[in-house]
Structure 1
Amino acid sequence: MTILPRLLATLPSGPRLARAARGVLAGLLAGALALPPVLAPVAPAQAQGRSLAIVRDAEIERLLADYARPIFRAAGISADATRIVLINDTSFNAFVADGRRIFINIGALMQAETPNEIIGVIAHETGHIAGGHLARLRQEVANAQILSIVGMMLGAGAMAGAVSGGSNVGNPGLGAAGIFSGSQEMVRRNLLSYQRSEEQAADVAAVRYLEATGQSPVGMITTFRRFADSGLFRSAAVDPYLMSHPLPAERISQLERLAAQSPYRDRRDPPALQRRHDLARAKLFGFVANPESVLRRYPPHDTSAPSRYARAVVNHRTGRSREAIELVDSLIREEPGNAYFQELRGQLLLESARPQEAAESLRRAVQLSDGAPTIRVLYGQALIARGDGASLEEAVRQLERATRAEPDAPEPYRHLAMAYGRTGQIGLAELATAEYYMAAGDVVNGQTQAFRAMRSLVEGSPPWRRAKDIYEFVPENRR
């Protein structure tokens, strides 16, 4: 598992996908499950440009894709065109920031005890995508801006009338100020009312998708009860008309009414899916939680696979690499075909400066995972660390395949540039570095590296033309 710093404003980043967050007018994120209860329309604008850390993990990404696939099918949206992105944040939240990406905090997975809870979250966010809520929200924001301007103009007219009329009763500008503030408050309430209606529509759509796929809506109820029980939503003194989301009690009441009609209300998740969920949670706790809390949650006397998985990671983090490898080996003996146990073994060995052994485990993990790009990148890193000529050539092949599979992911290009450099292919190394910067949203450095690559590559060759495309790229905000 890797954690990569990224910017929300460039997610997905680079010239090919640079429009992702620009479409979120006024910073409004559709479907955010755990926003503060009182929210001015522009309050989340601080999120734009905020540095986020994106978690990449083949096992968890595959699990979430399996959760989402039937939901997407029921909603009539393309699973290939819709991506779930993991955010390194331990709070329980999820949101849609454009029409084809669902962002889920790792905290949602860590807190959700069943797959059904996360599937309910995905179903809710899918409701926003299928309903076109973000596009309509942009229009509502545009309309709100127009109404606000009109209100301000009316206020200015009232002020001018009061002054020209020679009124000497009180402050002639006071009434106009009230019109200014009143018109803006009306616009704000109208916009928040619209957001609440879309949230309710997404809840209804989610229950419909769950029923179409034969799954229980109870996980959604569990999620909103969690919010209702937390201090975040203890809002008895809050004006409900100043909230972007319905009150949790209202949502729970609506969901319970819908759930009561579902023939699948009492259906439980398949045991195999629950086990995968438990393993994913254990891995996350192992990597991000405090080691002491991990060992309390997964004590040594617990010999279950999730417990050993979590302890393997936390042992490695705390310098007990031998014990960590022993735990992973015990998991592999029980399940030799599990790609992700092999991947973890390779990662732990690589980080323990044992690249020879790491490469063998990661080669097996690539095979077992049908070439998962993130595992392929880790395998490429191990081959580079081995350093011999044959390993470096294989690293180039593996990393090239990873970049073709995920052309907008920065990390593969960074390691591919290193592999090219170690094999003496300087022009290609500079081009890969340019691709890395462009995928990371750094156009200036990307074009600088592309210019260097053009001087090193054969003019007119495909790599040279790609470098030229990058060098001549004009960002949207400069067009």
Structure 2
Amino acid sequence: MCFFLTLKSTQSAPAIQEGNIIRDSEIEAILLEIMHPIFKVAGLDPKLLNLYIVASSEINAAASIDFSIFINTSLITKAKNLDEVVGVLAHEAGHLSLGHVARFQDSINRASLIAMASAALGIVAAIAGSPDAAMGAMMAGQQLAMGSLMHYSQGQEASADQAAVRFLDKLGWTAKGLESFMAYLAKQELRGVDRQDAYMRTHPLSSLRVDMLNSAIGKLKTQGKPLPGRLYERFDRMVVKIKAFMNSPMTTLIQHPPSKTTTLDRYARAIAYYRNGDLQKSLIELNPLLDQSPKDPYLHELKGQILFENGKVAEAYAAYQRALSLAPNNPLIRLSAVQAALELPKVDLTKELRELHLVLRKENKNPMAWHFLAVIHGRQGNKGLLALALSEKALTLGNLELALSQAKRTLHLAKERTVLVRANDIIEMILEEQKKQG
């Protein structure tokens, strides 16, 4: 799933909107491969990590409640290299391991986490890839003062720096990226607030803090080693992918003209032509990459998306199935395959129901999964399970009123005991939350 799950269309693909929280299996896989080892050495459970990638022109990242880390696309695309991104992510893990975000836990319910955190990052959040317009606007409109969420003291920032250095040292990874990123920020210290990167505004910096960081890195017995080469290669492709989806196709084609035939250039052009609605040119660029790397699940996934959104549903489904065979544990690819299957003239609803349950085992707060589950239950005529799925979907989006009404509807329509128990649990949870909010 490359940024969006959308209904099939022959229209050109729109640019990623500023402030969208995006989902992409390839990008998430790379970032999680970095974050999981950091979490382990930080004494945190990698399974608890919630990673959010925010489409934003602001350079920023933040840790928040519920073991959540937000990273803006511009931090990825404007970083000098992967080492800087790793350093920043280690720093945010430091905030989590040191309990700096614990004070937010009581005052912020999880349903409003995305909107509030994104407001602190300098943007307004929206759920990307929603099957209806309401989902895209569900999180909009919530604002938060800069000083109240994910805004740390200089002392906390310095201690998170020290923790990041320790984590990277334990992994044998270089901390030079964190050092160079902080040096870049230090040059902005004398600028006016409106001319500073957002990271400066949410992460107070001082010359003393930079000196302390440099001293800690200098005292390390070993200066660490670069990450495995494959990660640097995948990082370069991730940067190209983000830019190709966020910049205009014209900009991408100027930066990656047909005269350039590297893998990255072809990848960028495949996305640009797809966004221009030119299926033939897009596949001309993508197919040679598939010939070179037939076992790359993300290339097959991109092909599936391109075909699906150009109305080639059967071919898209086949591409998604190939991607899934190469990455069987990836819930986003599986979800894309389900979406394509539901557009086929003949579909095995029982099979796709099983597929969705596999997705929900890994992502039980994914509104798209609950949406398609509701679609299947609706087609099967199971009104009770349809209402429950809609309640779960609304719950993941923070729409408590809708979640409550659908849960109550479930009680009138369902007969299965487990369904009724879950509906009652949702009702009790929402009523308790509303009671807390007064």
Same fold (TM over 0.5): yes
Distance in 1 between residues matched to 2:301 and 2:277, nearest whole Å:
19
The aligned counterpart of 1:463 is: 419
Assess if the C-alpha contact under 8 Å between 1:58 and 1:374 holds in 2: yes
The aligned counterpart of 1:307 is: 265
TM normalised by structure 1 equals: 0.72
Give 1:63-462 correspondences, 5 Å limit. Answer: 63-98=30-65, 100-135=67-102, 195-229=153-187, 233=191, 245-247=203-205, 249-265=207-223, 267-390=225-348, 392-458=349-415, 460-462=416-418
Structure 1 residues 275, 264: CA separation in 2 closer, same or farther (over 3 Å shift)? farther
Assess if the C-alpha contact under 8 Å between 1:291 and 1:314 holds in 2: yes
- Partner-residue secondary structure (3-state), 1:445: helix
Structure 1 residues 193, 114: CA separation in 2 closer, same or farther (over 3 Å shift)? closer
How far is the alpha carbon of 1:207 from its aligned partner?
A: 1.1
Structure 1 residues 137, 384: CA separation in 2 closer, same or farther (over 3 Å shift)? closer
Assess if the C-alpha contact under 8 Å between 1:431 and 1:449 holds in 2: yes
Distance in 2 between residues matched to 1:333 and 1:445, nearest whole Å:
48
Structure 1: where are the runs of 5+ without partners?
A: 6-50, 140-188
Assess if the C-alpha contact under 8 Å between 2:172 and 2:224 holds in 1: no
Structure 1 residues 348, 96: CA separation in 2 closer, same or farther (over 3 Å shift)? same
Deviations 1:277-305 (A, max 9, x none): 11111111111122233223333222222
The aligned counterpart of 1:156 is: none
- Partner-residue secondary structure (3-state), 2:90: helix
Distance in 1 between residues matched to 2:43 and 2:386, nearest whole Å:
42
Deviations 1:381-433 (A, max 9, x none): 0000113142x333222122212221112111111211222233333222211
How far is the alpha carbon of 1:52 from its aligned partner?
A: 5.0
Distance in 2 between residues matched to 1:329 and 1:453, nearest whole Å:
47
How far is the alpha carbon of 1:114 from its aligned partner?
A: 2.3
Assess if the C-alpha contact under 8 Å between 1:98 and 1:134 holds in 2: yes
Structure 1 residues 266, 389: CA separation in 2 closer, same or farther (over 3 Å shift)? closer
Structure 1 residues 399, 282: CA separation in 2 closer, same or farther (over 3 Å shift)? same
Deviations 1:323-382 (A, max 9, x none): 112222211111111111111111111111111001111112122112311111111100
Assess if the C-alpha contact under 8 Å between 1:83 and 1:102 holds in 2: yes
Larger radius of gyration: 1
Assess if the C-alpha contact under 8 Å between 2:2 and 2:305 holds in 1: no
Distance in 2 between residues matched to 1:84 and 1:244, nearest whole Å:
18
- Partner-residue secondary structure (3-state), 1:215: coil
Distance in 1 between residues matched to 2:368 and 2:22, nearest whole Å:
12
- Partner-residue secondary structure (3-state), 1:85: strand
1:53 to 11, 17, 20: 20
Assess if the C-alpha contact under 8 Å between 1:99 and 1:129 holds in 2: no
Assess if the C-alpha contact under 8 Å between 1:195 and 1:244 holds in 2: no
Distance in 2 between residues matched to 1:466 and 1:122, nearest whole Å:
36
TM normalised by structure 2 equals: 0.78
Structure 1 residues 389, 232: CA separation in 2 closer, same or farther (over 3 Å shift)? farther
Give 1:25-64 correspondences, 5 Å limit. Answer: 52-64=19-31
Query: What amino acid maps onto 1:436 in structure 2?
Result: K
Structure 1 residues 261, 293: CA separation in 2 closer, same or farther (over 3 Å shift)? farther
Distance in 2 between residues matched to 1:470 and 1:245, nearest whole Å:
37
Distance in 2 between residues matched to 1:342 and 1:72, nearest whole Å:
30
* Bigger shift: residues 220-229 or 329-338: 220-229
Structure 1 residues 478, 387: CA separation in 2 closer, same or farther (over 3 Å shift)? farther
Structure 1 residues 245, 403: CA separation in 2 closer, same or farther (over 3 Å shift)? closer
| Same amino acid, percent of matched pairs | 30
Distance in 2 between residues matched to 1:303 and 1:113, nearest whole Å:
24
- Partner-residue secondary structure (3-state), 2:153: helix
Distance in 2 between residues matched to 1:52 and 1:425, nearest whole Å:
36
Assess if the C-alpha contact under 8 Å between 1:114 and 1:269 holds in 2: no
- Partner-residue secondary structure (3-state), 2:63: strand
Distance in 1 between residues matched to 2:427 and 2:390, nearest whole Å:
13
The aligned counterpart of 1:162 is: none
Assess if the C-alpha contact under 8 Å between 1:434 and 1:447 holds in 2: yes
Structure 1 residues 388, 228: CA separation in 2 closer, same or farther (over 3 Å shift)? same
Structure 1 residues 207, 442: CA separation in 2 closer, same or farther (over 3 Å shift)? same
Assess if the C-alpha contact under 8 Å between 1:437 and 1:446 holds in 2: yes
Structure 1 residues 339, 193: CA separation in 2 closer, same or farther (over 3 Å shift)? closer
Query: What amino acid maps onto 2:171 in structure 1?
Result: T
Distance in 1 between residues matched to 2:372 and 2:151, nearest whole Å:
48
Deviations 1:92-120 (A, max 9, x none): 11111215111111211112242211110
Structure 2: where are the runs of 5+ without partners?
A: 6-17, 107-146
- Partner-residue secondary structure (3-state), 1:103: strand
- Partner-residue secondary structure (3-state), 2:259: coil
Assess if the C-alpha contact under 8 Å between 1:381 and 1:395 holds in 2: no
Assess if the C-alpha contact under 8 Å between 2:157 and 2:204 holds in 1: yes
How far is the alpha carbon of 1:229 from its aligned partner?
A: 4.3
Structure 1 residues 245, 430: CA separation in 2 closer, same or farther (over 3 Å shift)? closer
Assess if the C-alpha contact under 8 Å between 2:371 and 2:389 holds in 1: yes
Distance in 2 between residues matched to 1:359 and 1:52, nearest whole Å:
30
Structure 1 residues 52, 472: CA separation in 2 closer, same or farther (over 3 Å shift)? farther
